[in-house]
Copies of this chain bind each other. A is one copy, B any other.
Amino acid sequence: MLTIDDVRAAARRLGNRIHRTPVISSQSFDDASGFTVFFKCENLQRAGAFKIRGALNKLLTLTPEERARGVVAFSSGNHAQGVALAARMVGTTAVVCMPKDAPPLKVEATRNYGADIVVYDRHTDDREQVARAVMERTGRVLVPPYDDPAIMAGQGTTALELLEDVPSLDALLTPVGGGGLMAGCSTVARALFPGLQIFGVETETANDTYLSLRRGERVTIPPPPTIADGIRLTTPGALTFPILKSNLTGMLLVSDDEVRAAVRFLALRARIVVEPTGAVPAAAVLGRHLPLERGARVGVVLSGGNIEPSMLIEILKS
């Protein structure tokens, strides 16, 4: 099982190669929500999301021989960019398998960080098999998006920083996709503040972790159509799920419209640009889904800011 020492080791390893992102607050948001909210701004992280934390930590734990062989990853989104940038930072190469219909912004950014892109068809190809074929052909090391101790430990450094900056929280919220961010963050929070309430947040259609926790075991749902593309997963991770099961106070669900409202509020009132997935926990707070007393001190991880300009404009207009 992951421990806070693994996360502390990751933090030492990452050092100042990545940003210590700011924690900000917004009086407007507090007035609108009734809580005192501290936003951990991973939208301002390198490559625009927390993903660089896990990816770089993983790459820094490879042997020189493994690193020389290069890495491979599959992702349509922020993990792709995180792995591409991390590879460049440690002086190795990355191949990233991305679906044909991945957001152009994310494909372009991944390529700009120097990765080779292998395109596959989401409907006819199995992405793990595509990545595995690259591994077997080239000897590259796979960097999984969440189900890996080094990835979870890296993502956990987000909470380590937040709880160092704001040691008096009543609750901590992060989005839950595969569960890597929450596995790392909840491990830190439980170790440092056993009484802290920890809530994962999903959108209503992407409720695989919500259902799995209720059932007590991993459930698979159909591919969810949610606007929050970073949590469009069908089942929790094999390694992350037991950690979430042991650490979480509960899961909260928000609608896509609540996510849009949160993105709009954060841009126009808190003056930061957050992608839909990154705004999912803020949507839970703003939408009054948090079962806490008014005035409670709530840490909210804004996990990423990589939003297509056209989508940002559409959300601001609505």
Contact = CB atoms under 8 A, between A and B. Distances in A.
Contacts of A305: 271
Contacts of A316: 309, 312-313, 316
A215 interface: no
B312 A317 contact: no
Contacts of A41: 22
Interface stretch (A43-51, A56-64, A176-184): A43-51
A24 B21 CA distance: 8
How many protomers of this protein does the assembly include?
Answer: 2
A27 interface: yes
A312 B268 contact: yes
Contacts of A268: 273, 309, 312
Most buried by B among A24, A25, A316: A316
A288 interface: no
Most buried by B among A22, A271, A273: A271
A271 B312 contact: no
Contacts of A270: 44
Contacts of A196: none
Interface of A: 19, 22, 24-25, 27, 41, 43-44, 46, 48, 267-268, 270-274, 305, 309, 312-313, 316-317
